[in-house]
Amino acid sequence: MVHFGRNTLERLARFGYGARGVVYCVVGALAVLAAVGQGGRADDSKGALRAVLGGPLGAWIVGLIALGLAGFALWRLVEGVTDADNRGRSLKGLVVRAAHVGSAAIYGGLALTAASLALGLGLHRGGEDGLQDWTAWLLAKPLGLWLVALIGLGVMGGGVAFGLKAWKGDVTERLALDAAACRWAKPIGRFGYAARGVAFLIIGGFFVAAAWHQASSEVKGLAGAFAALRAQPYGWVLLAVVAAGHFAFGAFGLIQARYRRIDAPDLDEADDVVARAVRSVT
């Protein structure tokens, strides 16, 4: 029997942080180019994957990103269910762990999208079209309007959390870096988290607007958030700043891939814990 130890999960997690970092570097770079009128496109992570696919060795690179994102999704799931980061059972700890499980689902879906692109299977409906489809389905259900509003408030809460993390400056607390290295890594992370906070606030606002107007067409993702910024007075400046922040978020992901402290449980033990958690809610 092959035994997969904690080092296997740690390597998958680091590969995942790196893959996520690459995706957001591309997202940010393209949006910056769009802001300054140099031919880029302010798009979401799926748009970034399509852009990479069109480059040299695009299918191979997107395939590697797919593997990395799958590893990141697995790490987020294990992180949330087993409390690998010792968040605890306080309200704040449980909220963070729940957010990690939700993140696992999101990045797992993005990994499937990347894999389908790499294999030439086409891209299923996603991005804003997919969000609007799901929102329309939810709005048609009993209490769906309230659920959509709660999702929006939850996303906005995530934006506030990103903003507070950037404000407090504790973005490097889980990095194995000395004080000198933290002085250059911390501003990158704070800028990146602040930009993600702005995007989450806007995206959450779209969901609240969809509930208020009972119209799924109000829902938009990151591309919609970029477009909303661009539509403001001096919007190209706002877009350029937030886009550069997303590039910084991606760069910080590459730093995390190398220096984050990852206290990964044994993969076989983690599998048992996840299985028990799934059985407990089914």
Give residue-wise pLDDT tens across range 93-124.
898 899 999 999 999 999 999 999 999 876 55
pLDDT of residue 2: 37
User: Is the Cα dihedral 35, 41, 43, 45 positive or negative?
Assistant: negative
Inter-residue contact 31 to 40 (CB < 8 Å): yes
Name which of 162, 223, 241 is nearest 194 in CA terms. Answer: 162
27: left (phi over 0), alpha (psi -120 to 50) or beta: alpha
More confident residue, 40 or 136: 136
pLDDT of residue 7: 80
Record the tokens describing residue 132, joined without a space.
């609007």
pLDDT of residue 209: 95
Q: Is the pLDDT of residue 4 over 50?
A: no
pLDDT in tens, 215-251: 999 999 999 999 999 999 999 999 999 999 999 999 9
pLDDT, mean over the chain: 89
Q: Quick one: what percent of the chain has pLDDT higher than 70?
A: 89
